[in-house]
Structure 1
Amino acid sequence: MAPRIARNVLGLPVPDLPCWRPGPETVTLLSPGELHLDIVLVGTTADKPEFAIIHEVQNSGCTDELERIALSWPAYVTHVRQRLGCPVVLLAFCPDERIAGKVATPVETGHPDFVFRARTYWPGMLPAITTVAEADQWPELALLSAPGHLGDTERRRVLAMALEAMQHLEPDLRVHYHDYISKCVPSRYRKEWEELVAIAIENYHWESDFAREHQAIGRAEGRTEGRAEALAGSVLRILERRGLAVDAAVRDRIVGCSDPDLLAYWLDRTLEVDSAEQVFD
């Protein structure tokens, strides 16, 4: 997706190459230490690097972060270019236009005419995905762009296509993207988003464990005991996948619950709480 964004959204002269493969994300320096890049894509022809894209995610535009990237990002470009021997561009995904503007501030390196400026973009700069065909072909694009297109005219279609796109992702990524979009949806539209999620869970023919766990909500499939056990496992799994600490007391309470309706409520809570204990509120 990065080459497409670079060409079509940012207007960069990125060639349309037949193959893009993962490139070096750790660059060894002459002095002790390493540069840790978010991700690098290398466009190749006949195993020869022709173009590289460094992609960073930058959620903050505070002074400390701007000072850090002013030193590190120009080094990313020069070191990857030296290692691969091909043109290199650095893209940065930001949550909104304000932060993107700060991150794109030109960096004077000190060498005449050597000014570095990251090429930034944000959800609203990406095209709105409003058709099933687009959502199926570019699921990540549909999910990344959705928070930037929540106006009255296209909001419902954009959110519906975000749910369509989730079908093509691994279960763990679905949890993260659901959380990402849920946090971006304005409070006045939150109920509408939750209704769309409920409809999708009920009607889509999901195949992953993640979805089957959610389809168990509200359905009387199998024995109550088995359903409760499955829901308890889902609650714990999502809390852990979100990086929330689950202590013994919380785990015992969840595993020991035999009420499917209560467990279903806790499962809904796992996608919006900031700590494991809050699922019980």
Structure 2
Amino acid sequence: MKLCRERPEFAVDLASEMLGIPIPDYDEAIPYSECATDSVVRDLNADNVVLCREGGLARMGIILEIQQGQDKRKRFSWPAYQINIRHRIGAPVALIVVCPTSSVADWAAEPIETGHPGFVFQPLVLGPDNYPKLTTVSGTGELAEQMVLGTLVHQYAADSRRLFAAASEELAALPPDQAARYAEYMMRQLSERPRTILEALVQQETYPYQSKLLTDREARGEARGEARGEAKGAAEILIDVIEARGLSLSENQRRRIEQCTDTNQIRAWAKRAVTAPSVGDIID
């Protein structure tokens, strides 16, 4: 949810306008650490957290999660995100899950039984059934974040091309650098077929941010090539550490490590590998 790092107030808009969450008075909304880790448990990191403050004091936190598919581990981590961040900031915290399909949205909206009487955690969900389809351009860029997120939520809709076109046109009202970043967010968050449709659309039209977008994508492509090489080396070292400790490594686990291109993720696994009792505790 890089959109909320660009404009933290967007998280407040989603919470108040689309989900009806009461927001206390505040004078600033700022990006906040996504880390929800307690010192005695494994790393917990939400996708994005925004902190609303008044006079420098926390008034409310908003956690935003993008959920592409069902993941039973989230039934445990989502309540932990809310509880740990609420404990840290000393203020109410809401958790919002954004889903691109109705089936995932229905799953994410299921109440989570925590085991404690009276404490049932209820995620708040935005999906194809309750996120608006925005096809009318404002001309000022004020709907940019809503439209960009809408391309993720409605990427499988029959009229997705109209949504992509409207979002692309809305971005034209933003400064070229910001518009190029938002366009890149759109492309990166879509699955392969919708992304192909969006890329073809952008190439057919002429937008002020096009040259900046293409230049940035080429530069990132070169950087990704270097990063993949770094990740491969880190993965090999991690496997050596696991084998040196005598831990049992399945073919699926080996493949997952070798195919990971996120160097930061591999480093996090490597820290766990020093003391973890099994490979499952390292990478799951």
Note whether the superposition's TM-score is higher than 0.5. yes
Amino acid of the residue matched to residue 134 of structure 2? I
Contact 2:32 2:51 in 1 (8 A): yes
Contact 2:67 2:97 in 1 (8 A): yes
Change (3 A) 1:73 1:135: farther
Match of 2:55 among 46, 67, 77: 46
Alpha-carbon distance, 1:175 to partner:
3.1
Change (3 A) 1:239 1:97: farther
Instruction: Give the ranges of 4+ consecutive aligned residues of structure 1 lying more than 6 Å apart after TM superposition.
Output: 149-152
Output the aligned Cα RMSD. 3.4
Match of 1:205 among 204, 208, 218: 208
Match of 1:120 among 108, 125, 140: 125
> What's 2:38 paired with?
29
Normalising to structure 1: TM-score of the pair?
0.64
Note the 1:127-142 alignment, pairs <5 A. Answer: 127-133=132-138, 136-142=141-147
Amino acid of the residue matched to residue 210 of structure 1? L
Residues in 2 aligned to 1:117 and 1:78: alpha-carbon distance in whole angstroms: 13
Establish whether residue 163 from structure 1 lines up as the match of residue 168 from structure 2. Answer: yes
Change (3 A) 1:159 1:38: closer
Pick which of 29-38 and 46-55 moved more: 29-38
Residues in 2 aligned to 1:13 and 1:243: alpha-carbon distance in whole angstroms: 46
For structure 2, which runs of at least 5 residues remain unmatched after alignment? 1-9, 230-284
> What's 1:58 paired with?
67
Residues in 2 aligned to 1:161 and 1:90: alpha-carbon distance in whole angstroms: 28
Change (3 A) 1:207 1:157: closer
Deviation sequence 1:166-196 (CA, Å, 0-9, x none): 4443645523413545746499xx4xx5664
> What's 1:20 paired with?
29
Change (3 A) 1:92 1:240: same
SS in 1 for 2:86: helix
Amino acid of the residue matched to residue 47 of structure 1? G
Contact 1:58 1:93 in 2 (8 A): yes
Residues in 2 aligned to 1:176 and 1:70: alpha-carbon distance in whole angstroms: 27
Deviation sequence 1:146-182 (CA, Å, 0-9, x none): 3528867x65543322212444436455234135457
Normalising to structure 2: TM-score of the pair?
0.63
